[in-house]
Chains A and B, each alone.
Chain A
Amino acid sequence: GAVVSQHPSRVICKSGTSVKIECRSLDFQATTMFWYRQFPKKSLMLMATSNEGSKATYEQGVEKDKFLINHASLTLSTLTVTSAHPEDSSFYICSTNPGGYDKNIQYFGAGTRLSVL
């Protein structure tokens, strides 16, 4: 079964609204979660690394104020796309790892397809 749960799987929203995406680790505590974005027919690009109890680390070129990340617990990280615009339409996916011996194995959520009208 899935070890990482991501919700919602699909969101359609009007321009200017904010959208929250949740990523939960189901079987283990995740101190670190990763958020990726995928444009159509392109690969996944790391947006940010979410750290439990501290600020997220954003990749170069990713707007911190546009993509708010909160990692308030050891099993939940959220990505909020603020004031979404059509250019934010994309596939967003999270991943994490169990840490310890399995820290190099990444588990992915099923992804969220965001469509901004």
Chain B
Amino acid sequence: KQEVTQIPAALSVPEGENLVLNCSFTDSAIYNLQWFRQDPGKGLTSLLLIQSSQREQTSGRLNASLDKSSGRSTLYIAASQPGDSATYLCAALTGTSGSRLTFGEGTQLTVNP
């Protein structure tokens, strides 16, 4: 059974700081790993998706890496802004037909002005 863990559970940083969010998974047989953002009381916004054959993906100030062999992924946020404050979730896609998404519990990020 896939288990996904995110560290830290909460993070508070001053504006402008670069930061790294960590995600680990127990079953390396994943189809992809996805990072989401969730604002309070809202749904999920997909940030980055890394296919199992890829090592990283970049979008603007965000960079996500994937190391399947060690069961780890990181989300790097450069030059953080107050608008980045949200909960960040990672999810690993596994299953016989690539249909089971297992989520971590998220990292609650607060960027202080």
Contact = CB atoms under 8 A, between A and B. Distances in A.
* Majority secondary structure, A binding face: strand
Nearest to B102: A46
A108 B91 CA distance: 13
A95 interface: yes
Contacts of B89: 43-44
Contacts, number: 50
Interface in A94-117: 95, 97, 103-106, 108-111, 113
A34 interface: yes
Contact of B103 (A6, A41, A43, A110): A43
A104 B95 CA distance: 10
B101 A43 contact: no
A104 B42 contact: no
B28 interface: no
Interface residues of B, number: 24
Interface string B75-113: 000000000000001010100011111111110100000
Interface of B: 31-32, 34, 41-44, 46, 49, 51, 89, 91, 93, 97-106, 108
B93 A108 contact: no
A111 B42 contact: yes
Interface residues of A, number: 24
Given A43-B89, A44-B89, A103-B98, A108 B32 contact: no
Contacts of A103: 97-99
A114 to B, nearest CB: 12
